[in-house]
Amino acid sequence: MADPLSFYLDDKPQPGTGSNFNVDYVIHYKLPTTSVNEKEEAEAAFIQLINALSAVGFATEVRPGGKSSLLVFTKIASEKLLTSQVYRYRIQDWLFGVRTSAPNQDLSKYLEEEPVSEAERLRLTYLLITKSKNEGGAGITAKVGKWKYVDSIFPLHDHAFNHRWIKAWSGKYFLDEEDLNRIRDKFGERVAFYFAFLQSYFAFMLFPAAFGFAAWLILGKFSWFYAVVNSLWSVVFFEHWKTKEVDLAVRWGVRGVSRIQHPRPQFQFEREAQDPVTGEIVRVYSPFKRLSRQLLQIPFALACVVVLGGLIVSCFGIEVFITEIYTGPFKQYLTFLPTVLLTIFMPTFSGLLTNLAEKLTKAENYETHDAHQASFIEKIFVLNFITSYLPIFLTAFVYVPFGKLLVPYLDVFKVTAQSFTTMEKPVTKSWEINPDRLTQQVIYFTVTAQIVNFLTEVIVPYAKRKVFKKVQEVQSEFSGNGHELQIKDHPDEADFLKRVRNEAELDQYDVTVDYREMVVQFGYLSLFSVIWPLAACSFLVNNWVEARSDAMKIAIGSQRPVPWRADSIGPWLHSLGFLSWLGSIISAALVYLFNKHDINPDGTPWDISGWALLLSILFAEHIYFAVQLVVRSLVQKLDNPGLQKERAERFAMRKKLLEQTFGSHGHDADLTEEAQGPGHVSSGERITREALEEEARVNATKTPEQLFWLRQRGAAETIEIGRGLIAEVAAANQTKSS
């Protein structure tokens, strides 16, 4: 595959992409290149690998993978094994309430009715490879423990599908139901949920884009009206997505799958205990120990604030000093200093902190993959929050209002600057607030940074791979003579293997990176768009491109993802809610601070009263809560097709079970008639009564209770006696009133 990009632009299929040779998964097995010991270890592990795969029912083929790796191709050996897996997991789904009905007994008929999708096949195959031996799997987990040479386990792309996919999407504005369903069938619900979210977000973005444009033209910046509408929009979007998520989950048949947790192989248990409910043996880790480790999140968050905040504040100070005060030599070069510093240190620090976050999350030792992921995402969110929003917070709430007070402290740079120059005249000028800084910064983050992001996400990895390959080729040309490993592929397979080797070198696709990007963007809109209402227009364009570039990233830039299921966008939902809420506060504060108060270039302190600022925040926040309550109750009242489907399914299932149990209404109908047919009961009643009367005449030893119910013989007598009593009362009253 010479050039993956051109592959998607041409219509001509690339060599080797026509077929996947029925391969389910490819295991990329990296060989050590240094010591002999390691070679032996790798060999032993390889033997174990093949045996483990074969033991659970995989057919295997091995081929050379490149200079120092192997490619192990696996497929499920018999269709019967696959069927049994499908059946087993569908029953599990039903046990967990994901499916409303139990799988049919007649297997072949059942699979005809509900065929196995590609995603389902790949998911179950992956589980069979990775789940532990005592759960019936091969227990192979990439890069962990004895499987450290297993670099990755990945399915092969369906390039014909990818080709159609990218072509189709690049020609349309909106993704429809069918587009998402296709993604779901190929890449699983987890990826499909991302695109569904992106699509929903994109469609909702139309409103703030149009309204923002109008506001920009008419209302200008810092309009309270824009802030209110924007906040309202974010509430509506958030609440809508919450129900949409449930709707989609039901329609895709995955509602509740988050309850079926995949155990983390790395989980370390303290002891084994019996589940009080199911009686199964479960592995236990002390929740208090975990809690004590979770508490480390607090120092971690503080560390993030100190390290990243410190970096940002320093660069901010240097930048202000150089661009707005400094007048000495090399100013044109020094202007780039803060950018350079940020570019060097920010990724370094972020990387370090991300590693730390990963270590912390591992130390928290979660039983399940989802819990682990959620905890990690929480930490990442803190990191991103600081790197993304702190610069604007600084400008809005420190630089502008307190600039005049704080800038003198920048003298530390002045002294440094003065000592580096030999000139007599001062190298600084008196400082004035740059009134456009805030807007410039927001524009930078909402336009420039989005473009930069796009480039780093799509173009850079591609370029990197190209360069890396070239370097390797050149390297091997230089070093390569004599015993260089020669790969001789069978001509039938050569193209295919070349393509698989390419895919093996690609990165794994991580959907959380894409979610993070969207959530951060939502934050800009919710928190800061009141500064520059055009932001949403930029996001609208960006998100159209984003959906396509993410599709490209999956199709060309990454290994095909394992098609996991999901029933929501997971922990990101909380982040969205948090940002939406914070937006109400920050927008109010921004509007209060900047709406009436033109920025004084001379930096004199404004006429800001603390209580009015706090009052507007308090006010905005509580209106936000009230609106959220109303919107939530309204949105919940709306029926959606997914929930209707679920209701109908449950209704039908239970009706069916009822019929099965009682033989098509037989038993139940009897009861119904008896309960509803008045004649039947009351005549039966009368017969009993008569029989009892007979008895009463015979047997005078009745209790008062029995006699009480025998005084009036049936309804007719009760009526008669009642009428008598009514007449008596009327007579008594008439006597009285006369």
* Nearest approach, Cβ of residue 531 and a copy of itself (Å): 23
Q: How far apart are CA 17 and CA 21, in angstroms?
A: 10
* Block residue for tokens 């790949």: 122
* Nearest approach, Cβ of residue 280 and a copy of itself (Å): 10
* Nearest approach, Cβ of residue 571 and a copy of itself (Å): 13
* Nearest approach, Cβ of residue 323 and a copy of itself (Å): 33
Q: Name the residue nearer to a copy of itself (CB basis): 44 or 210.
A: 44
* Nearest approach, Cβ of residue 708 and a copy of itself (Å): 5
Is 401 in contact with 609 (CB distance < 8 Å)? no
Q: Name the residue nearer to a copy of itself (CB basis): 112 or 673.
A: 673
Structure tokens given for 534: 């055009």
* Nearest approach, Cβ of residue 88 and a copy of itself (Å): 6
Q: Name the residue nearer to a copy of itself (CB basis): 132 or 327.
A: 132
Q: How far apart are CA 178 and CA 379, in angstroms?
A: 35
Coil/strand/helix, residue 640 = coil
Structure tokens given for 30: 């990296």
Q: Name the residue nearer to a copy of itself (CB basis): 332 or 660.
A: 660
Q: How far apart are CA 450 and CA 446, in angstroms?
A: 6
* Nearest approach, Cβ of residue 646 and a copy of itself (Å): 9
Coil/strand/helix, residue 488 = coil
Backbone angles phi, psi at 71, to 5 degrees: -115, 120
Structure tokens given for 586: 């920050």
* Nearest approach, Cβ of residue 657 and a copy of itself (Å): 7
Q: Name the residue nearer to a copy of itself (CB basis): 268 or 475.
A: 475
280: left (phi over 0), alpha (psi -120 to 50) or beta: beta
Q: How far apart are CA 282 and CA 128, in angstroms?
A: 21
* Nearest approach, Cβ of residue 413 and a copy of itself (Å): 33
What number of other Cβ atoms are within 10 A of residue 87's Cβ? 15
Residue 728 neighbours by CB under 8 Å, 6+ apart:
none
* Nearest approach, Cβ of residue 580 and a copy of itself (Å): 14
Q: Name the residue nearer to a copy of itself (CB basis): 458 or 504.
A: 504
Radius of gyration of the chain, Cα coordinates, nearest whole angstrom: 36
Is 650 in contact with 100 (CB distance < 8 Å)? yes
* 170 bridge partner residues: none
Q: Name the residue nearer to a copy of itself (CB basis): 359 or 650.
A: 650
Is 519 in contact with 572 (CB distance < 8 Å)? yes
Q: Name the residue nearer to a copy of itself (CB basis): 172 or 723.
A: 723
Structure tokens given for 4: 């993956």
Backbone angles phi, psi at 61, to 5 degrees: -140, 140
Stated length of the chain: 738
Q: Name the residue nearer to a copy of itself (CB basis): 50 or 541.
A: 50
Task: Tell me which residue of 407, 397, 189, 250 sits closest to 317, measured CA to CA.
Answer: 407
Q: Name the residue nearer to a copy of itself (CB basis): 695 or 728.
A: 728
Q: Residue 500, class by beta-carbon neighbours within 10 Å (0-12 exposed, 13-18 middle, 19+ buried)?
A: buried
